[in-house]
C-alpha cells in the first residue's frame, strides 16, 4: 500500500514540474502555442506527425488546438509523410525549429509493436493455461497435476 501511495504521489508531483533546461525539461508545444515570442532562440522539444516533407512540417496538438511547425536541419532529412517525429532544437521563429536531434518513428513501427506484443501475450496466456488451473472452491490458482 505504501508503494502505491508513493507511486501516486510521485506522479502528481511530476505533473507540477515546470520547464527547466538544466534538468532536461525543455519547453514544448504548449509553450510554443501559448507565447512563442517569449521563448524565441531557446531550446525546445516537440512531438508531432509529418504532414509535408519539403520543407518538413509537423502537425502538433497541444491541449486540443492543432497547429503546424516547420523543422529545418539534417536530423529530419529522411522523414516521410505520416511519420511521428520527436524534435529537439532551437525555436528560430514562432513556427520554425532548427532541429539538432530527432527521433523518427515510421507508421509501420507502431503496428509492428502492437502485433508482436499481442502474439507474446497469447504465448504467455497459453503457457499459463497449460501449467495452471483455477480452483473455483477457493478462488486460487494452482499448478496442474
Indicate whether 138 and 68 sit together in one domain.
Answer: no
Is 80 exceeded by the pLDDT of residue 15?
no
Mean pLDDT score, 8-35: 80
Indicate whether 137 and 68 sit together in one domain.
Answer: no
Q: What is the mean pLDDT of the chain?
A: 89
Count up the domains in the chain and report the number: 2
Q: Check which CATH number belongs to the domain holding 83 and give it.
A: 2.40.50.140
Indicate whether 65 and 123 sit together in one domain.
Answer: no
The reported pLDDT for the residue numbered 118 is 98
Residue 83 forms part of a structural domain: yes
Higher pLDDT, 124 or 27: 124
Is 70 exceeded by the pLDDT of residue 90?
yes
Indicate whether 101 and 121 sit together in one domain.
Answer: no
Quote the domain boundaries for residue 96: 21-105
Residue 14 forms part of a structural domain: no
Residue 95 forms part of a structural domain: yes
Strands (E), 94-138: 96-105, 132-135
Higher pLDDT, 23 or 113: 113
Is 70 exceeded by the pLDDT of residue 20?
no
Residue 3 forms part of a structural domain: no
pTM for this entry? 0.70
Indicate whether 94 and 125 sit together in one domain.
Answer: no
Cβ-contact 12, 5 below 8 angstroms: no
What is the DSSP track for 82-132?
T-EEEEEEEEEETTEEEEEEEEEE-HHHHHHHHHHHHHHHHHHHHHHHHHE
Indicate whether 86 and 36 sit together in one domain.
Answer: yes
Amino acid at each position: 500500500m505504501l508503494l502505491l501511495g508513493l507511486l501516486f504521489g510521485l506522479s502528481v508531483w511530476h505533473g507540477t514540474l515546470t520547464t527547466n533546461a538544466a534538468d532536461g525539461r525543455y519547453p514544448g508545444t504548449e509553450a510554443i502555442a501559448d507565447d512563442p515570442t517569449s521563448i524565441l532562440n531557446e531550446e525546445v522539444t516537440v512531438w508531432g506527425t509529418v504532414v509535408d516533407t519539403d520543407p518538413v512540417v509537423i502537425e502538433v496538438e497541444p491541449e486540443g488546438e492543432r497547429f503546424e511547425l516547420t523543422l529545418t536541419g539534417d536530423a529530419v532529412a529522411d522523414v516521410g509523410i505520416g511519420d511521428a517525429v520527436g524534435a529537439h532544437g532551437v525555436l528560430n521563429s514562432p513556427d520554425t525549429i532548427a532541429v539538432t536531434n530527432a527521433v523518427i518513428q515510421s507508421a509501420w513501427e507502431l503496428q509492428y509493436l502492437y502485433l508482436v506484443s499481442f502474439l507474446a501475450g497469447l504465448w504467455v496466456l497459453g503457457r499459463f493455461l497449460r501449467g495452471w488451473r483455477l480452483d473455483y472452491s477457493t478462488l486460487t490458482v494452482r499448478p496442474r497435476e
